[in-house]
């Protein structure tokens, strides 16, 4: 499929996840076959004010392309300025977040709050689309709540204002991440617009990816929480779609090896102190479902060095052989 002139393999993309989908994780998922990656959301206001962290979040590497920088905000001019500020990172795409349900983001009038202000949303999309030479996409939800399901309207507004694609997370803001995912509305969005539609929500294996394609008619599926501690999920989805093969979950030894490589790269990127602090949550995800996981997760929640992590990983592998 194509977003503008950007070609993307029709398998599965990595969703933008704040505090998780950093450059290191995106590169790992790409190595396992993620067709497309999107950065953590970046505050447009922070970028225009010269905030260092916001600038760092925009950093993309050649090892994760095609890749997008995702920005959020509620002012058309500020959003356009932030999109322009991202261009030195050579993003393939600029993505606009209009789907984040986090209270802090919504309270500031951004994210999913913009689904309550379709006119303003349209102005933001047009402002960004007219300011940058790369395709602009928009991520939305099905609506604010069950009484306000306006994803179709929002997608049509996005298309009319220059968006090259729209991603729909199949839940309302009120649902946050609670089931079920509304595939019917995603299908309605697909029928209502001519631009590509990316479907997101509860895709965590090859079967759920295939089901999402079938039930929505979407152009691409996006994996979020299903990739946490399981970057190989992209390989599994790709294999199933291309050959019909079902790849098994890797053994504990391989899972621990991937975890150690992930955390080592994270520490090299962020420094040992910050890297190990970030490592704890990833380590908990990598060990989910393994024998003795409860006790090991308790130990992993306090690790401070790579040596400690390596020792725990060795014991996990031994106990699960």
Domain end residue (candidates: 190, 222, 243): 243
- 164 & 26 share domain: yes
Shared domain for 239 and 257, answered yes or no, is: no
DSSP secondary structure, 8-28, as one string:
--SSEEEPP-TTT--HHHHHH
Q: Tell me: do 124 and 164 sit in the same domain.
A: yes
**Which residue, 213, 243, 273, sits at the end of a domain?**
243
pLDDT of 95: 98
For residues 259 and 142, membership in a common domain is answered with: no
Q: Within this chain, do residues 183 and 291 fall inside the same structural domain, yes or no?
A: no
pLDDT at 321: 87
Same domain, 95 and 163: yes
Element housing 314 (H / E): helix 306-319
**Chain mean pLDDT for the chain:** 96
Q: 268 lies in which domain range?
A: 252-319
pLDDT band at 53 (very low <50, low <70, confident <90, very high): confident
**C-alpha separations of 13 from 142, 204, 291 in Å:** 19, 12, 30
Last residue of a domain, one of 243, 276, 298: 243
Where residue 236 sits, what CATH number does that domain have? 3.20.20.70
Out of 29, 100, 112, 267, pick the active-site residue.
100
81 shares its domain with 31: yes
Residue with tokens 């029709």: 10
Give pLDDT, residue 54: 87
Q: What is the mean predicted confidence (pLDDT) over 296-305?
A: 91
100 part of the active site: yes
3 token code pair:
């977003």
Q: What radius of gyration do the chain's Cα atoms show?
A: 19
List residues bridging with 198 in a β-sheet.
Answer: 167, 220
Q: d(Cα 132, Cα 137) in Å, to the nearest integer?
A: 12
- Backbone dihedral angles phi then psi of residue 134, each to the nearest 5 degrees: -105, 160
Q: Quick check: 230 pLDDT over 90?
A: yes
Confidence of residue 224 (pLDDT cuts 50, 70, 90): very high
In this structure, the answer to whether residues 92 and 219 fall within a common structural domain is yes
Q: Look at residue 215 in the predicted model and tell me its pLDDT.
A: 98
Q: What is the number of domains present in the chain?
A: 2
Q: What is the CATH number of the domain that holds 277?
A: 1.10.1200.80
Both 158 and 272 in one domain: the answer is no
pLDDT of residue 55: 83
Q: What mean pLDDT do residues 307-319 have?
A: 95
Are 37 and 14 within 8 A, CB to CB? Answer: yes
| Whether residue 234 is found in the same domain as residue 257 | no
Same domain? For 226 and 273 the reply is no
Q: What confidence tier does 131 reach under pLDDT thresholds 50, 70, 90? A: very high
Q: What is residue 305's three-state secondary structure?
A: coil
Render pLDDT for 151-196 as a digit per residue (tens, 0 to 9). Answer: 999 999 999 999 999 999 999 999 999 989 999 999 999 999 999 9
């Amino acid at each position: 499929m194509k977003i503008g002139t950007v070609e993307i393999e029709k398998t599965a993309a990595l969703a933008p996840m704040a505090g998780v989908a950093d450059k290191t994780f995106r590169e790992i998922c790409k190595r396992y076959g993620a067709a497309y990656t999107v950065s953590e959301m970046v505050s447009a206001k922070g970028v225009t004010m010269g905030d260092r962290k916001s600038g760092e979040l925009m950093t993309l590497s050649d090892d994760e392309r095609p890749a997008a920088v995702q920005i959020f905000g509620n002012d058309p001019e500020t959003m356009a300025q932030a999109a322009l500020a991202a261009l030195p990172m050579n993003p393939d795409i600029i993505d606009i977040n209009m789907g984040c349900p986090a209270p802090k983001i919504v309270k500031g009038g951004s994210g999913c709050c913009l689904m309550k202000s379709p006119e303003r949303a349209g102005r933001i999309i047009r402002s960004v689309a007219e300011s940058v030479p790369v395709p602009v996409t928009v991520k939305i939800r099905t609506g604010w709540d069950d009484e306000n399901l306006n994803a179709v309207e929002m997608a049509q507004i996005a298309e009319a204002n220059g968006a090259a694609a729209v991603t729909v997370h199949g839940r309302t803001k009120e649902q946050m991440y609670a089931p079920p995912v509304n595939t019917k509305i995603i299908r309605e969005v697909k029928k209502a617009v001519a631009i590509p539609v990316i479907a997101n929500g509860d895709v965590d294996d090859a079967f759920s990816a295939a089901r999402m394609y079938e039930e929505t008619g979407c152009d691409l599926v996006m994996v979020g929480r299903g990739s946490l501690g399981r970057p190989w999920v992209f390989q599994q989805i790709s294999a199933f779609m291309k050959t019909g093969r079902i790849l098994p979950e890797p053994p504990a030894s391989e899972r621990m090896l991937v975890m150690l490589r992930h955390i080592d790269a994270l520490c090299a990127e962020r420094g040992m102190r910050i890297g190990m602090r970030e490592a704890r949550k990833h380590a908990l995800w990598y060990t989910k479902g393994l024998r003795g996981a409860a006790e090991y997760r308790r130990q992993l929640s306090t690790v401070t060095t790579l040596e400690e992590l390596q020792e725990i990983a060795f014991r996990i592998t031994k106990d699960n052989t």
